[in-house]
């Protein structure tokens, strides 16, 4: 369908809007059709890493039943005979999946979260393309569908990496950065968008997306640079992003400080940081995983210094290479570079000086080379990375490839948008892209997720249903210790389910202690009742010692003393127990509470102002 025929067919702007909504609805319906059968599958099994997050959601539900939704669950007895809960950076008590679990149960919570964030990602990318970059409806729609079907979000969700769901908020965060700029934006909304951006960033922290947050922010920086290249460089978007970040840091101070306290007692410097043996290998892995198929085979052959292994070779799991945005953006970008780039994107800034534009190109080049550099293994370079904050505590940095996902889609659609000779074909181009993406995703082989999704949801779902129907929350009354062989610790997926029986597994699944619990302080832990006393100690750990040992005069791994049996009972029943917070955690708690209340008050004040403005204007006119 050509642009002219499409225009005749649609007939009006209203009809165009209806067509956009219809295509978006069909795309989202296909998305649900393709992926929801994995959440869970027909035999009630799902991704292996849900063995970590579903029990966590159930433990949060147990806490909620006894203490309400706003009481902070600092610790939980459900895993490892007692561990920090809120201070675990992968903890997600204050998140949509947890709140939905309160209402409808874990499986439906996963489905609701998946569809909600898929829709937010698609809608956010559409608004970003339209409002910030002035893109036409058809290409904005095509780009939003490409972003919807990116392999990173869906692949992570299918395998059970629940904390990555907030990645789909990246386009909406970018919208907040640009709101109030440009002729198409309403400057009166400048203030509320800053608050919304801060809230999005705070949610990313609270929902546990700590691993993907730095590349996501760097990706937004890349989007700002693209905008500066096309419209003239401006410092305002970076300032706005910085302001949002400062507000989000204040709102999230309690979790971040608690997380750093926990991490300081169990630093992960001992975990090797993997990479690919040459810079060009790292580049090929990124390009193949983005535009073709996940580069699992090449990754297995080229990976070095890795802790993941089988009996024969080192490897990263297949889902670690899922970033696909299809071949469409690659074809468009390659075509532009080899023939159309000069005619499509060459522009001077308003002063006629090309130096600012060149600076945008250089900074953008630095942004896009960072993920490749981080995944290049060279002993000296690896030594530096292991000594950097955040990066040094990682086992792999391949997830930084997600930085490219919104960038390559946006750039490819902008290239087509600015090709004057293609303008009348935009509706047809959109239909081809959307049809190709939908067909590809409906026909692709997802055997890996079928075979690897062997965690059984049934125990957690049944326990949730029993508690919801009025049954009591199981008291954690026994430590179980099955002494799982080393080679099976990474494949045994029912370890954390012990909470449904009122047990807590000594050989739990908790990455904070290393992939095989190499750093877990067993000390005097033994199989048997949690309240059994031996040598003046109960058979359950005091988790405050793992997070705030100095403030509580103990060491990480210490148990409750027999004299503290009342506190231990409260702990085993998912209730608060007395412990000491250091002054810096108390200060962070007050900063978070105060900042959150101010943030909410800001939303309310702006809303009241917007409601009163039309009424005041009508009164003055009368």
Q: Are 410 and 227 in contact (CB under 8 A)?
A: no
Whether the CB-CB separation of 540 and 572 falls below 8 Å is answered with: yes
SS3 504: strand
Structure tokens at 595: 């900042």
pLDDT value of position 314: 53
Regions of the chain short of the pLDDT cut 70: 1-12, 180-190, 269-270, 307-315, 338-356, 483-492, 612-622
Examine residue 209 and state whether it is found in any structural domain, yes or no.
yes
Q: Are 1 and 7 in contact (CB under 8 A)?
A: no
How far is the C-alpha of 159 from the C-alpha of 515, rounded, in Å? Answer: 17
Residues spanned by the domain of 427: 3-40+116-445
Sequence-distant (6+) residues with CB within 8 A of 375 are 275, 276, 282, 285, 286, 396, 397, 398, 400, 401
> Residue 249's closest CA among 304, 204, 297?
204
Please compute, for residue 69, the number of CA atoms within 13 A of its CA located in the half-sphere on the CB side.
Answer: 10
Strand partners, 505: 480
The structure tokens listed for 543 are 């988790």
- Vertex 305: Cα angle to 301 and 306 (nearest 5): 75
Distance CA 151, CA 402 (A): 9
Q: What is the token pair recorded at 536?
A: 């003046």
User: What count of other Cβ atoms lies within 10 Å of the Cβ of residue 479?
Assistant: 23
Residue 104 lies in a domain: no
Is the Cβ–Cβ distance between 235 and 359 less than 8 Å?
A: no
Mapping DSSP onto H, E and C, the string for 134-175 reads CCCHHHHHHHHHHHHCCHHHHHHHHHCCHHHHHHHHHHHHHH
Q: Does a cis peptide bond (omega within 30 degrees of 0) precede residue 175? A: no
The count of domains in the chain is 1
pTM, two decimals, is: 0.91
Q: Does 243 fall in a domain?
A: yes
Unique residue bearing structure tokens 């947890």? 98
The reported pLDDT for the residue numbered 452 is: 81
**Interval 205-233: pLDDT, tens:** 999 998 899 999 999 999 999 999 888 88
- Evaluate whether residue 613 is within a structural domain: no
Contact 234, 284 (CB under 8 A): no
Residue 410's pLDDT is 97
User: 516 lies in a domain?
Assistant: no
Q: What pLDDT score does 5 carry?
A: 41
Q: Has residue 405 been placed in a domain?
A: yes
Say if 615 falls within a structural domain: no
């Amino acid at each position: 369908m050509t642009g002219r025929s499409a225009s005749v067919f649609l007939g009006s702007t209203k009809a165009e809007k209806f067509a956009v909504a219809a295509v978006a609805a069909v795309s989202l319906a296909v998305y649900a059709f393709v992926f929801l059968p994995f959440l869970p599958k027909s035999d009630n099994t799902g991704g292996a890493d849900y063995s970590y997050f579903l029990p966590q959601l159930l433990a949060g539900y147990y806490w909620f039943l006894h203490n309400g939704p706003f009481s902070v669950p600092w610790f939980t007895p459900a895993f490892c005979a007692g561990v920090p809960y809120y201070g675990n950076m992968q903890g997600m008590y204050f998140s949509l999946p947890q709140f939905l679990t309160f209402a409808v149960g874990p499986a439906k919570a996963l489905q609701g979260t998946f569809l909600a964030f898929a829709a937010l990602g698609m809608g956010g990318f559409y608004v970003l393309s339209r409002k910030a970059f002035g893109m036409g409806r058809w290409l904005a729609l095509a780009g939003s569908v490409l972003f919807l079907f990116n392999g990173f979000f869906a692949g992570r969700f299918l395998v059970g990496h629940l904390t990555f769901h907030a990645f789909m908020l990246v386009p909406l965060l970018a919208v907040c950065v640009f709101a109030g700029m440009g002729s198409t934006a309403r400057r009166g909304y400048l203030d509320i968008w800053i608050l919304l951006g801060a809230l999005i960033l705070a949610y990313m922290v609270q929902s546990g997306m700590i691993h993907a947050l730095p590349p996501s922010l760097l990706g937004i920086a890349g989007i700002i640079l693209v905008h500066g290249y096309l419209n003239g460089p401006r410092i305002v978007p970076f300032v706005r992003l910085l302001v949002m970040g400062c507000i989000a840091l204040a709102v999230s101070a309690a979790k971040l400080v608690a997380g750093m306290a926990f991490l300081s007692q169990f630093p992960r410097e001992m975990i090797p940081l993997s990479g690919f043996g040459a810079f060009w290998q790292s580049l090929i892995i990124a390009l193949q995983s983005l535009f073709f198929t996940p580069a699992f085979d090449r990754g297995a052959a080229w990976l070095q210094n890795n802790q993941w292994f089988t009996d024969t070779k080192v490897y990263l799991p297949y889902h670690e290479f899922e970033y696909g945005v299809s071949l469409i953006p690659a074809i468009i970008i390659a075509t532009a570079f080899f023939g159309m780039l000069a005619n499509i994107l060459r522009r001077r800034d308003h002063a006629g000086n090309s130096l600012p534009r060149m600076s945008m190109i250089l900074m953008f080049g630095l942004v896009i080379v960072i993920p490749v550099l981080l995944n290049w293994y060279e002993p000296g370079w690896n030594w530096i990375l292991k000594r950097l904050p955040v990066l040094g505590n990682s086992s792999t940095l391949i997830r930084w490839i997600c930085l490219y996902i919104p960038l390559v889609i946006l750039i490819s659609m902008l290239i087509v948008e600015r090709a004057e000779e293609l303008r009348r074909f935009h509706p047809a181009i959109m239909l081809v892209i959307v049809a190709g993406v939908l067909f590809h995703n409906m026909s692709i082989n997802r055997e890996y997720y079928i075979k690897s999704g062997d965690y059984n949801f049934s125990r957690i779902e049944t326990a949730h249903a029993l508690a919801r129907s009025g049954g009591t929350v199981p008291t954690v009354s026994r430590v179980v210790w099955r002494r799982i062989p080393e080679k099976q610790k990474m494949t045994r997926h029912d370890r954390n389910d012990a909470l449904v029986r009122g047990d807590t597994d000594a050989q739990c699944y908790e990455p904070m202690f290393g992939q095989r619990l190499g750093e877990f302080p067993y000390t005097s832990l033994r199989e048997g009742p949690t309240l059994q006393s031996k040598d003046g100690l109960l058979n359950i750990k005091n988790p405050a010692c793992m997070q705030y040992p100095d403030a509580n005069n103990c060491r990480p791994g210490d148990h409750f003393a027999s004299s503290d049996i009342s506190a231990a009972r409260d702990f085993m029943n998912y209730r608060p127990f007395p412990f000491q917070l250091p002054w810096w955690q108390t200060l962070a708690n007050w900063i978070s509470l105060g900042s959150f209340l101010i943030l909410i008050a800001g939303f309310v004040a702006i809303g009241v102002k917007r409601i009163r403005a039309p009424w005041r204007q009508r009164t003055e006119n009368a």
